Structure 1
Amino acid sequence: DLHADQVQGFFGVPVDNVYASPVLLGDVWRRHMSKQLLVVSPDVGGVVRARALAKRLDDAELAIIDKRRPRPNEARVMHVIGDVEDRDCVIIDDLVDTAGTLKEAAKALKEAGARKVVAYCTHPVLSGPAVENIESSVLDELVVTDTIPLRPEAERCPHIRQLSIAELL
């Protein structure tokens, strides 16, 4: 998953954007598929991605986190758009950096009545306070791929699970 499609233009050779969604969707199907499943976009910019994945999950319902970024790497959740009460929320994003957005999104979802909050992110950048943010959050689990090796403290974190994308390559 390229963070921005424009990245393809920086290469002098053809580049294929390989999506991790088959691996991530397979895991969602095995572990979380139920009538209570609700796909969540962590921001307005991710709605197209989240909606595409929701359609592949039996056209699951969608919620959106409305957030603002007062400064780089700092997110403030404003409110949840959609009914999440008693739902198993699956946040879909392309990358997780400091995990500030995930921490705030999970908090907002649980405060709005979500039963469970799990996040699926392709690229685990996990910089700075990311592991601490995950450990101190109400996020039930963060599922990432192996596109970036995990730091030792991330490997030890019981709330982080890593999936291999080797089958896609």
Structure 2
Amino acid sequence: MSGRRSLAWLGLTPEPERELPSTVAALRAPMSDVDTALPALAAAERHRVERLILHGSERGWLRYLAEVTDLVTAVASGARQGDREAALLAGEVVLDHHRMLIGMPGNGYGRTAADRHALETAVRVLRETDADHTDTDTDTTDPSAARAQPQTHRAQHGQQRRQGGRG
């Protein structure tokens, strides 16, 4: 084996780098103190992802994504409290990443098979739960009721993306 480190994994997709720090921070934040804890946790996640990308390896990156998978699946199953919409977004991002590994050299696709299966199940559960909450949380007879609902992490993130900001 060459002494050179393979960098092919860095060219896969930028979405995890952009999307995960804020969503993972939302998943790690204690529910009782999410508003005050979230900014510091998001900064720490951004720093961690930056370190992994600049100085890490594919194996280290996949370990980080496995941690994210564990958070997502725990929220989906109810084993952990957390922002279900952040879990859905993180799950979708990691699942897309893992699916794209099929076109990359190495055995990353094979190594992530169990995580892909777990994420497929978690994303399905989170989407169903999200749809159930959407149907029951908003009074459809009053259009102003939807506007009165507090913005979720996912809605705020989507709004930032539409306005050209990084999430």
Q: Provide the TM-score with structure 2 as the length reference.
A: 0.29
Q: Bigger radius of gyration, 1 or 2?
A: 2
Structure with more of its chain in strand, by fraction? 1
* RCO higher in structure (CA 8 A, sep ≥6): 2
Q: Provide the TM-score with structure 1 as the length reference.
A: 0.29
